[in-house]
Amino acid sequence: MSNEYHFDTQQIHAGAVPDPTTGARQVPIYQTTAYVFRDADHAARLFALKELGYIYSRLNNPTITALQDRITALEGGAGTVCCASGHGAQFMAMFPLMSPGKNIVASTRIYGGSMQQFTNSFRKFGWGAKAVDFTNLDAIKAAIDENTRALFCETLANPAGDILELPEIAKIADAAGIPLVVDNTSATPWLCRPIEYGATLVVHSMTKYLTGNGTVMGGSITDSGKFNWSASDKFPSLSEPEPAYHGLKFYEAFGPLAYTFYGIAVGLRDLGIPLNPQAAHYTLMGIETLSLRMAKHVENATKVATWLEKNPHISKVNYAGLPSSPFYERIQRLTPRGAGALFTFHVKGGYDACVKLVDNVKLFSHVANLGDTRSLIIHPASTTHSQLSPEQLVAAGAGPDVVRVSIGIEDPADIIADLDQALTAASA
């Protein structure tokens, strides 16, 4: 598919051609585990990566390949690997880079589940994680040591939708000879393409805006193809003969696709967390309307945040799309189409009023999700972020008086009316 096409065209066409056998126009769900080899030589060539093709759906599947190619086009990368969930994608993203004793430096402002995964579960593999305030560039530099193998942050950071100075953070990663991994879940490539700001790897929870309607789980990792994995001895899985793949030197053999091929041939093969073809199909269909949905999400979120800022029950609204936000200038520069639709606000009544608020909404759904067509609400301190310490809660922008909303694409008047009645009830 031509890279000349614009975003709105690529979100529908990239990665998809009419099915060569049937002419099916929509990408079929290839519901199969295995693929018949033409002959023994063909099978041997596929296993040796001398020829590309389908072997077994733990590694690849045509429906998933179409999705991978579409995300690659939208993010402006070299290759993409999809897997079972966003958390799976984060694990897959680090897998080629890490070994026991190595660490990552991660922003404190990330999805609570990601912090949990990094600080506790990664440790079981001997992978360390240092949490740093990424708005402080000197703190990032100070945290990097000779065992650091990646920086990790979010574009529009969870839960308050702040935006970081990505180009400066990419320069720090560059100077240290390590990749910057950006979770682009809440921005989506329509609002921000982190590779253009110097990111090496972009991960998504496709569960959210890419699929867009709360139907299936999925994750993706897109590689820019620009990182030189042989520039140092830091990334032996990619630069040295890989024992997990009969001594293949991935970077020498595949250049800009080395990381992607490693992710499929070793990562998916051994971690065993593939996406399923039906989920890939839902996500492909979701992506077809990504730009339309994101524009409406942003428009609605701006209206709701503006209304909330004037509401007497609210002490503060953290939405980078509001002129009162310290991130407003950065948004105009880095994501000029808007600040997304995920933000937080502080309720004057504190913890108790927040709990009452989520109990009194009618149109909003009280769920642990974001990026749905529906408006969603949650109180992070009692749910998604409840495993964090009080200090971590505040550092993550999820103190006891904070409510997070993911604004949907309903009529904004109905969204505002629902918050109005629930806030009145919560403050009574």
Cβ pair 99, 219 in contact under 8 A: no
Position 70 contacts ligand PLP (CB under 6 A): no
| Distance separating alpha carbons of residues 309 and 36, to the nearest angstrom | 60
Q: How far is the CB of 256 from ligand PLP (least distance, A)?
A: 25
- Give the residue with the Cβ less far from ligand PLP, 55 or 271: 271
Cβ pair 306, 318 in contact under 8 A: no
Position 217 contacts ligand PLP (CB under 6 A): yes
Binding window for ligand PLP (CB under 6 A); candidates: 201-209, 222-230, 261-269, 287-295: 201-209
Binding window for ligand PLP (CB under 6 A); candidates: 50-58, 108-116, 232-240, 414-422: 108-116
Binding window for ligand PLP (CB under 6 A); candidates: 83-91, 121-129, 267-275, 400-408: 83-91
Stretch (H or E) spanning 64: helix 62-75
Binding window for ligand PLP (CB under 6 A); candidates: 49-57, 80-88, 259-267, 375-383: 80-88
Least Cα distance to 156 among 113, 207, 121, 190 occurs for 190
- Give the residue with the Cβ less far from ligand PLP, 155 or 302: 155
Position 237 contacts ligand PLP (CB under 6 A): no
Which residue of 186, 188, 283, 311 would you call a contact of ligand PLP, by CB under 6 A? 186
Least Cα distance to 174 among 157, 197, 154 occurs for 197
| Distance separating alpha carbons of residues 278 and 215, to the nearest angstrom | 11
Least Cα distance to 64 among 289, 287, 276 occurs for 276
Which residue of 72, 148, 205, 237 would you call a contact of ligand PLP, by CB under 6 A? 205
3 state DSSP class of 219: strand
Position 109 contacts ligand PLP (CB under 6 A): no
By CB neighbour count within 10 A (0-12 exposed, 13-18 middle, 19+ buried), where does 52 fall?
A: exposed
Residues 335-374 binding ligand PLP (CB under 6 A) are: 370
Position 158 contacts ligand PLP (CB under 6 A): yes
Which residue of 63, 72, 107, 114 would you call a contact of ligand PLP, by CB under 6 A? 114
Which residue of 57, 103, 185, 375 would you call a contact of ligand PLP, by CB under 6 A? 185
Position 113 contacts ligand PLP (CB under 6 A): yes
From start to end of 265-350, where are the E strands? 314-318, 342-347
Q: How is 110-147 classified by DSSP, letter by letter?
A: S-HHHHHIIIIIGGGGT-EEEEE-TT-HHHHHHH--TT
- Give the residue with the Cβ less far from ligand PLP, 235 or 364: 364
> Cα separations (Å) of 291 from 112, 303, 390?
27, 19, 38
- Give the residue with the Cβ less far from ligand PLP, 87 or 281: 87
What single DSSP character describes residue 403? E
Q: How far is the CB of 390 from ligand PLP (least distance, A)?
A: 22
User: What residues make contact with ligand PLP under the rule CB under 6 A?
Assistant: 85-87, 111, 113-114, 154, 158, 183, 185-186, 205, 207-208, 217, 219, 370
